[in-house]
Chains A and B, each alone.
Chain A
Amino acid sequence: MSELGSAPVPPVGPEDHVRDGAAETVIVYADLGCPHCARDWFELGRSGRRVVFRHFPVRSKHPRAPDLHGAAEAAGLQGAFFDFVDSLYADRGHVDDPHLWQRAERFGLDLDRFDRDRRSDAVAARVRRDFESGIRAGVAGTPAVFELPDPR
């Protein structure tokens, strides 16, 4: 049974998905099925900030979200995490399994491995870890953006 009481937002770590930028660092808890997150994602991309993406799927609101987060994480295992996230947010109308496979092909991924990974316990646990850290930090809506002091 997980402990979900209050805890600070975990600082950026080696496991995090970090998109580099010249400006200050922000940590974003985002839902890949969420239209507000999609809009803010592209604004953050244009802002020049260093962005840390943390998984925050809200299944009840967006039933496809857990699958999308699993797919993005699996793409990340083959070096295409942010390509996948960008493409999911850019085309939220096409997110069924065939569309995920199309994206995986477009990014040159090993499809069998992608399919295995996205459904694996390890990937689900990785997504869940981010989600729980968000709950503990008080995330109560998506996207949730935290600006942390930059250790760089």
Chain B
Amino acid sequence: MIAAGEQAPDFTLRNEDGEDVSLADYRGRKVLLIFYPMDFSPVCSDQLSIYQEVKPELAEKGVELVGISVDHVWAHKAFQEKLGIDTTLLADFEPKGEVAKAYGSWFDAGFANRTLVLVDEDGIIAWTYESPTPGEFPGANLIFDALA
């Protein structure tokens, strides 16, 4: 996986509304990239829902959230609505997983691994986290630890 200190690879992906979003758009702010395997996994509230509950606290620390999976924009739109979240979700759809692979956050079964990448205001990676398995969700506490 990509390491802290490295330049975060730039990318342009489409969000849930089909609009282009580039990492460069976030220059000047901190952004947390949340790589995750798939929309609509069969669990109750998982990391994106829980991060939504502490979004005000994260915003206070100057962090924006961006979710990335290989799902298409329409799935992202429906997933956002189902979860009741407003976190931007980007479609790493075609070429499949290109951005996840560039960040070393790829699971050979064909989807992004569950990782967190904190990019600082200058586009440098400040912190990363890799779940031991895609089934383990990183708690929001880990993000606050990284920001402390």
Chain B interface SS verdict (over half): helix
- List A contacts of B83 (CB < 8 A): 60-61
One of A43-51, A99-107, A112-120, A136-144 at the interface: A136-144
Give CA–CA (A58, B85) in the complex, Å: 11
In chain B, positions 115-141 with a C-beta closer than 8 Å to chain A are: 137-141
For residue A36, which residue of chain B has the nearest CB?
A: B44
- List A contacts of B46 (CB < 8 A): 140-141
Chain A interface SS verdict (over half): loop
Q: Write out, one digit per residue, whether chain A residues 118-151 have a CB within 8 A of any chain B CB (1) or not (0).
A: 0000000000000100011111111100000000
In chain A, positions 29-83 with a C-beta closer than 8 Å to chain B are: 31, 34-37, 58-63
Q: Tell me if B109 is interfacial: C-beta within 8 Å of chain A.
A: no
Interface hub of A4, A62, A138, A139 (most chain B Cβ within 10 A): A4
- List A contacts of B138 (CB < 8 A): 138, 140
Give CA–CA (A80, B53) in the complex, Å: 28
Give the contacting residue for A1; candidates B44, B49, B50, B60; CB below 8 A.
B60
Give CA–CA (A139, B49) in the complex, Å: 12
Residues A60 and B85 in contact, CB atoms below 8 Å apart: yes
Residues A135 and B140 in contact, CB atoms below 8 Å apart: yes
- List B contacts of A35 (CB < 8 A): 44
Residues A61 and B57 in contact, CB atoms below 8 Å apart: no
Residues A4 and B45 in contact, CB atoms below 8 Å apart: no
Residues A60 and B49 in contact, CB atoms below 8 Å apart: yes
Give CA–CA (A80, B117) in the complex, Å: 45
Residues A136 and B141 in contact, CB atoms below 8 Å apart: yes
- List A contacts of B144 (CB < 8 A): 3-6
- List B contacts of A5 (CB < 8 A): 141, 144-145, 148
User: What are the nearest 8 A-B pairs in CB distance?
Assistant: A138-B139, A140-B137, A60-B84, A58-B45, A60-B52, A36-B44, A5-B144, A4-B144
Between A and B, 23 residue pairs with Cβ closer than 8 Å are: A1-B60, A4-B141, A5-B144, A5-B145, A6-B139, A31-B44, A31-B45, A34-B44, A34-B45, A35-B44, A36-B43, A36-B44, A58-B50, A59-B53, A59-B84, A61-B45, A131-B53, A135-B50, A135-B139, A137-B139, A138-B139, A140-B137, A143-B44
